[in-house]
Amino acid sequence: MSDVILLWDCPLLFEKLFVEYGLQCTRALSTSLGTPYLPACKIMILPTGFANKHYTKTGVGLERGKRSLEKFVTKGGTLLVFSPLVPEYDYEWLPFSLKYVMEENPCTPQPVGKHDAQKLVENITLPAGCDGYFTETDADVVLNDDKGRPIMVVKEIGEGMIVATTIHELPAAGFFECRVACTKKVKA
């Protein structure tokens, strides 16, 4: 069992971050969603560039794994989704409406209300790297960019939540400490 699963098809420097945080991290193919080969975990992550075919084939398994991802979140898991890194993207495989536009956009994230997901960007060096914004969503916006456009949204579903962000920075330890402490391991 793992605390964190990265849905990706080759080694990532990102994996070392979780070792530093003292978390068990496993890398898995998106095509393993809904199969017995994917171990239970607390947090599932789609790193930046998941939809860009120049970086990975991860986007391929997402539509087929849609039900498994929703089941994972409903049962208490946390799904953390970074930017797709393509000009425009519609997250059709998520159980809510979300559309993205890519735009190099360094900014100072502006909190909207207060939510634990905002811990993802605690203590980052400003301006934060941001590679786009969301143009449409029915999720809760928790961070905007300097122009008032959504750059982090949260959708709570069942016992878990989905966090999507366009911030292109390494996630802060505080987010993981909070999510690991209050989340049970779930199979996708």
Q: What is the pLDDT along the chain (188 residues), one digit of tens a residue?
A: 689 999 999 999 889 999 999 999 999 999 999 999 899 999 999 999 999 999 899 998 998 999 999 999 999 999 999 999 999 999 999 999 999 999 999 999 999 999 999 999 998 999 999 999 999 999 999 999 999 999 999 999 999 999 999 998 999 999 998 888 877 678 88
Structurally, the chain folds into a number of domains equal to 1
Q: Is the separation of the CB atoms in 17 and 45 below 8 Å?
A: no
pLDDT at 2: 86
State the residue range of the domain holding 116: 4-182
Per-residue tokens: 64: 């087929």
Assign residue 123 the CATH number of its domain.
3.40.50.880
Residue 188 maps to a domain: no
Residue 80 counted as domain residue: yes
Residue 133 located in a structural domain: yes
Report the alpha-carbon angle 76-79-80, nearest 5: 145
Q: What's the pTM value of the predicted model, to 2 decimals?
A: 0.96
In a domain, 187, yes or no: no
The answer to whether residue 8 sits within a structural domain is yes
C-alpha count within 13 angstroms, C-beta hemisphere, residue 131:
16
Instruction: List, in sequence order, every residue forming a beta bridge with 35; answer none if it has no partner.
Output: none
Within a domain: 175: yes
106 domain residue, yes or no? yes
Mark residue 97 as left, alpha or beta (left: phi above 0; alpha: psi -120 to 50; beta: remaining): beta
- Let me know if residue 159 belongs to a domain: yes
pLDDT of residue 73: 96
State the DSSP H helix or E strand holding residue 67, giving kind and residue range, or none if neither. helix 66-74
